[in-house]
Amino acid sequence: MKISPSQMATYKKIINGAHDFFNQDTIVWVRKTYGLQRYGEDNGSNITTESITLKCLNAYNYFRSWPMTDETVGGKIDKESMVVLLNNKYLDDLGYMTAEGNFDFDPGTDHFIFQGQRMDAAGETPMSQAGDEPLLTMLILKREPTKTGSDKY
């Protein structure tokens, strides 16, 4: 069965409209920003962070993508059990998509906080393709252990 352009437009409208109803959990994106001093020197002290609250749909232990487990004396520890779905139109409306249509975050320096737990992105993939573009972005997050041994950020 071939999907007509009008049917695809209806599909996109449904996916983007559904964001207002089911993507209601929140996650804090801690984005690092860099600036130069007055005369252009970069001595490393110009790094600041910006906390951005994003609406998303979270899935816990729902399925495993690129599983990361560590062997310990007590067994295996799952360090990656959360998937976050972000609506691309929502991110674009906020100005957080690149010109190529990707979520504009830096997995090397940015991190996320969910319910007090600091998490790093372990992967990003486009989802819910609509023929000509992905409508959702899936982030796979892993818990970051703290130096104090606490699970809280």
Q: Which of 17-21, 40-44, 87-91 is predicted most confidently? A: 87-91
Q: Is 152 domain-assigned?
A: no
Q: Pull the structure tokens for residue 76.
A: 């295996």
Asked if residues 28 and 52 have their Cβ atoms less than 8 Å apart, the reply is yes
Interatomic CA distance for residues 153 and 147, integer angstroms = 10
Query: How many structural domains is the chain composed of?
Result: 1
CATH code (residue 39): 2.40.10
Length of the chain: 153
Share of the chain above pLDDT 90, in %: 22
What's the rounded mean pLDDT across residues 77-97? Answer: 85
Using CA atoms in the order 60, 146, 34, 55, what is the torsion angle rounded to 10 degrees? Answer: 20
Q: Is 150 domain-assigned?
A: no
Q: Is 77 domain-assigned?
A: yes
Q: Which residues contact 130 (CB under 8 A, 6 or more apart)?
A: 8, 11, 12, 15
Does 153 have pLDDT greater than 50? no
What's the rounded mean pLDDT across residues 118-137? Answer: 84
Q: Is 64 domain-assigned?
A: yes
Q: Among 29-33, 58-62, 110-114, 121-125, which stretch is predicted with the lowest mean pLDDT?
A: 58-62
Q: Is 66 domain-assigned?
A: yes
pLDDT digits (tens, 9 = 90+) for 60-72: 655 554 555 666 6
Domain residues for the domain of 130 are 5-143
Closest by alpha carbon to 109, among 45, 47, 40?
47
67 or 31, which is more confident: 31
Asked if residues 112 and 138 have their Cβ atoms less than 8 Å apart, the reply is no
